[in-house]
C-alpha cells in the first residue's frame, strides 16, 4: 500500500485548513470523513421533510471569522468565488416593551442609537474595531508563542517576527486585556446604564454557553462585537456555509489531495499508512483511536479535558419574515433572544446547574436577510439554537417558538414547518459535538488557554500525531486556525519543510 505523507481525520474547516496547507507544500494528503457529506460544523444540507429544494445550515451559519482569520485572509475566499455578505445590522437584541439593542455595522450609528451609553460603547469597542487585525491575531493565536499570536498582523509573515509587528499589538492588546477584566468580572455592570447596551454585549458573551459574567464569555463578546463594526461584519456566505468548505476542497484537490466521505475511523487499523496523522476530532476520539501511541502522562491530561453544556437546534420554514416588534431587528443577520442581561444570566446559570431554563437563550438567524438566494419561492429557512444542559434529550421547539413570539408577536402564524435536533443527537451529525457541546470543549478562560492541555505544544500529541480541531487553540469558530497552526508545525518537524506554502489562489 502506498505510504501517504498525511492523513486528516475529519473534514471540518480546521481539518481542511491543515490538509490544504500540507498539500500546497507538495505533500500527498488524504482526508477521511465519516459523514456522507463534507464540512463538519460548516455544512449546508437539504431537509426534504421540511421543504423541497431548500438548504439549511446544519451547524454554524454566520461567519465573522471566515473573513477575519489570518488563515482565511491568506486563503482569500473572495478570490475563489465565495461571496460573504453582511447586512447593515450585524446583530440585534430585542427587549420587552418594543425596545431593542441594535448593532449596526457603523460603530457611530450604533453609539448614537444607544443614547446615554453611546460614548461608553464607543470607548469600549472603538479601539478594538480600529485594530481588528491585531485583536483577531491575538484571539486566534496558538496561546503559546509570540509568533503564533501575531500571525496575520502586517509585517509578521514567515517564521520571523519583526519588532514593528510586535509593537503594533501592544496598545490593542492592553486595551483588550483591560476590557476583558472589566466585562468578565464583577465590574461588568458599571460601564452601561441602559438595558439595551447591557443586553447587546451580553447576548454575544452568551455564545460561550457558560455562566455570566466570565472571562471566556467576555473574550468572545469583545472579539465578535469588534468584528461586527469592522470591514466584513457578521458575514453570511451566499448559498450557505458549505460554500466555504467547497472552496477549500477544490483547492485541496487541485493540489493533489483527496477526500473520502463515508470513511469512519474506529481504530488505528482503519487508517491508511502515513507519515503523519491529523485528528480534526475531540481529544476523546483521538484517544479512542490512537491512545496507545500517546505517552501515559499526556494521555491522562487529555482525558481530563472538560466538555461543556450544549445547544439544541431547531430549523424552521417560514412563509414570511419574522414579525419582530422592532423592525430594525429584522435587518440583522443574527438575533440574540433572551431578554435583559439579568434574564440571560439566570438562563445560563440554570443550564450550568443541569436545568432547562424557563426562558432559554436562543440564537436566531434568517440567512435570506443578507442572501435572498436562500428564499425558496414564498418560503424561507430560519436557523435557531437554544442553550440547554449537556446531553439534553428535550425537544425545544416550543420553548424556542415561545421566546421568539415574545418579541415577534404573530411568529407562530408564519411557521409552516420545523425540525428539532435535541442536544443528545447533535453528535450524530457532528461527532465533535459530544452531548451537544458545539464548542468541542468547555469554553472557560482556562480551557481557552490550556486547550486541550497546558503542554507547550497543544497540537502535537506524539511523534507524527496531531490534534487540530476546535478542542485546540484558538477554540471554536469557522476560522481554520487550529488546522493551520498544526500543519505549520508538522511541515517543519515531520517533513523538514522550512518555507511556508503560499495559500493564495
| Rounded Cα–Cα distance for residues 359 and 345 (Å) | 11
Is 214 or 168 the better-scoring residue by pLDDT?
214
Spell out a b/e string for 450-465, using b for 16 or more CB atoms within 10 Å of the CB, else e: bbbbeeebbbbbbebb
Give the DSSP per-residue string, 359-414: S--EEEE-GGGT-GGG-BTTBEEEEEEEEE-TT-----HHHHHHHHHHHSTTHHHH
| Residue in this structure with the C-alpha cell 436557523, named with its chain if needed | 383
The 3-class SS string of 446-470 reads HHHHCCCCCCCCCCEEECCEEECCC
What confidence tens digit (pLDDT) does each residue in 210-245 have?
999 999 999 999 999 999 999 999 999 999 999 999
* Closest C-alpha among 2, 56, 6 to residue 275: 6
pLDDT given for residue 159 in this prediction: 46
pLDDT given for residue 166 in this prediction: 67
Q: Is 334's pLDDT higher than 70?
A: yes
* Closest C-alpha among 309, 312, 391 to residue 350: 309
Q: What is the DSSP letter of 208?
A: G
Mean pLDDT over all residues of the chain? Answer: 95
Q: Is 155's pLDDT higher than 60?
A: no
What interhelical angle do 13-24 and 242-254 show, nearest 10? 20
Q: With contact defined as beta carbons under 8 Å apart, do 27 and 495 qualify? A: yes
Q: Give the pLDDT mean for 117-133.
A: 97
Of the given ranges (103-107, 183-187, 279-283, 376-380), which has the lowest mean pLDDT?
376-380
Q: Is 157's pLDDT higher than 80?
A: no
| Residue in this structure with the C-alpha cell 440574540, named with its chain if needed | 336
**To the nearest whole percent, how much of the chain has pLDDT over 70?**
96
What confidence tens digit (pLDDT) does each residue in 68-119 have?
999 999 999 999 999 999 999 999 999 999 999 999 999 999 999 999 999 9
pLDDT given for residue 445 in this prediction: 86
Q: What is the DSSP letter of 424?
A: G
Q: Where in the chain is the domain with CATH 3.50.50.60?
A: 4-63+238-306+437-493
Other beta carbons within 10 Å of 170: 10
* Closest C-alpha among 397, 432, 437 to residue 415: 397
Q: Where in the chain is the domain with CATH 3.30.519?
A: 308-429
| Rounded Cα–Cα distance for residues 390 and 251 (Å) | 36
Q: With contact defined as beta carbons under 8 Å apart, do 38 and 261 qualify? A: yes
Q: With contact defined as beta carbons under 8 Å apart, do 427 and 197 qualify? A: no
* Closest C-alpha among 109, 209, 463, 481 to residue 471: 481
C-alpha 68 chain-centroid distance: 12
Q: Is 381's pLDDT higher than 60?
A: yes
| Rounded Cα–Cα distance for residues 248 and 24 (Å) | 12
Classify 190 as helix, strand or coil.
coil
| CATH for 308-429 (3.30.519, 3.30.1490, 3.30.420, 3.40.1360) | 3.30.519
What confidence tens digit (pLDDT) does each residue in 400-456 have?
999 999 999 999 999 999 999 999 999 999 999 999 999 999 988 899 889 999 999
CATH number of 4-63+238-306+437-493: 3.50.50.60
Burial (CB < 10 A; 0-12, 13-18, 19+), residue 435, is: middle
Band (167; pLDDT cuts 50, 70, 90): confident
pLDDT given for residue 164 in this prediction: 66
| Rounded Cα–Cα distance for residues 501 and 22 (Å) | 8
Rg (CA), the chain: 22
Please tell me whether the peptide bond between 452 and the residue prior to it is cis, using omega within 30 degrees of 0: yes
Q: Is 460's pLDDT higher than 80?
A: yes
Q: Is 287's pLDDT higher than 50?
A: yes
| Rounded Cα–Cα distance for residues 12 and 479 (Å) | 10
Band (145; pLDDT cuts 50, 70, 90): confident
Amino acid at each position: 500500500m502506498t505510504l501517504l505523507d498525511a492523513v486528516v481525520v475529519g473534514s471540518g474547516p480546521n481539518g481542511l485548513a491543515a490538509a490544504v496547507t500540507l498539500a500546497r507544500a507538495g505533500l500527498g494528503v488524504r482526508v477521511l470523513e465519516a459523514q456522507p457529506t463534507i464540512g463538519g460544523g460548516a455544512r449546508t444540507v437539504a431537509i426534504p421533510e421540511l421543504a423541497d429544494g431548500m438548504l439549511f445550515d446544519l451547524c454554524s451559519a454566520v461567519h465573522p471569522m471566515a473573513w477575519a482569520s489570518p488563515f482565511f485572509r491568506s486563503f482569500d475566499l473572495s478570490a475563489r468565488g465565495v461571496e460573504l455578505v453582511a447586512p447593515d445590522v450585524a446583530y440585534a437584541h430585542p427587549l420587552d416593551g418594543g425596545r431593542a439593542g441594535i448593532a449596526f455595522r457603523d460603530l457611530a450609528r450604533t453609539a448614537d442609537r444607544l443614547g446615554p451609553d453611546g460614548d461608553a460603547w464607543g470607548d469600549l469597542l472603538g479601539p478594538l474595531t480600529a485594530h481588528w487585525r491585531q485583536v483577531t491575531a491575538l484571539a486566534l493565536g496558538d496561546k503559546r508563542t509570540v509568533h503564533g499570536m501575531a500571525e496575520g498582523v502586517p509585517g509578521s509573515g514567515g517564521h520571523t517576527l519583526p519588532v514593528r509587528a510586535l509593537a503594533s499589538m501592544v496598545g490593542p492588546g492592553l486595551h483588550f486585556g483591560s476590557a476583558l477584566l472589566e466585562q468578565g468580572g464583577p465590574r461588568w455592570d458599571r460601564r452601561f446604564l441602559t438595558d439595551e447596551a447591557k443586553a447587546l454585549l451580553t447576548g454575544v458573551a452568551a455564545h460561550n454557553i457558560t455562566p455570566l459574567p466570565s472571562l471566556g464569555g467576555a473574550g468572545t463578546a469583545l472579539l465578535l462585537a469588534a468584528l461586527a463594526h469592522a470591514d466584513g461584519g457578521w458575514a453570511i456566505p451566499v448559498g450557505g456555509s458549505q460554500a466555504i468548505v467547497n472552496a477549500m476542497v477544490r483547492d485541496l484537490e487541485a493540489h493533489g489531495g483527496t477526500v473520502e466521505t463515508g470513511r469512519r475511523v474506529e481504530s488505528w487499523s482503519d487508517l491508511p499508512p502515513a507519515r503523519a496523522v491529523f485528528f480534526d476530532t475531540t481529544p476523546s476520539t483521538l484517544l479512542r483511536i490512537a491512545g496507545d501511541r500517546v505517552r501515559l502522562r499526556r494521555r491522562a491530561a487529555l482525558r481530563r479535558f472538560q466538555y461543556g453544556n450544549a445547544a439544541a437546534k431547531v430549523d424552521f420554514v417560514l412563509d414570511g419574515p419574522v414579525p419582530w416588534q422592532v423592525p430594525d431587528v429584522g435587518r440583522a443577520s443574527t438575533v440574540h433572544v433572551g431578554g435583559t442581561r439579568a434574564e440571560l444570566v439566570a438562563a445560563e446559570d440554570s443550564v450550568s446547574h443541569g436545568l432547562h431554563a424557563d426562558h432559554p437563550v436562543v440564537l436566531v438567524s434568517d440567512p435570506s436577510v443578507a442572501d435572498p438566494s436562500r428564499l425558496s419561492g414564498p418560503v424561507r429557512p430560519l436557523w435557531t439554537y437554544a442553550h440547554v444542559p449537556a446531553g439534553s434529550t428535550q425537544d425545544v421547539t416550543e420553548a424556542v417558538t415561545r421566546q421568539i413570539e415574545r418579541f415577534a408577536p404573530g411568529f407562530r402564524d408564519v411557521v409552516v414547518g420545523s425540525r428539532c435536533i435535541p442536544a443528545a443527537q447533535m453528535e450524530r451529525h457532528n461527532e465533535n459535538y459530544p452531548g451537544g457541546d458545539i464548542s468541542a470543549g468547555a469554553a472557560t478562560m482556562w480551557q481557552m488557554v490550556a486547550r486541550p492541555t497546558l503542554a507547550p505544544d497543544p497540537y502535537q500529541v506524539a511523534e507524527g500525531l496531531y490534534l487540530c480541531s476546535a478542542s485546540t487553540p484558538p477554540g471554536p469558530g469557522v476560522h481554520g486556525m487550529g488546522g493551520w497552526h498544526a500543519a505549520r508545525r508538522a511541515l517543519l518537524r515531520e517533513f523538514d519543510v522550512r518555507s511556508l506554502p503560499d495559500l493564495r489562489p
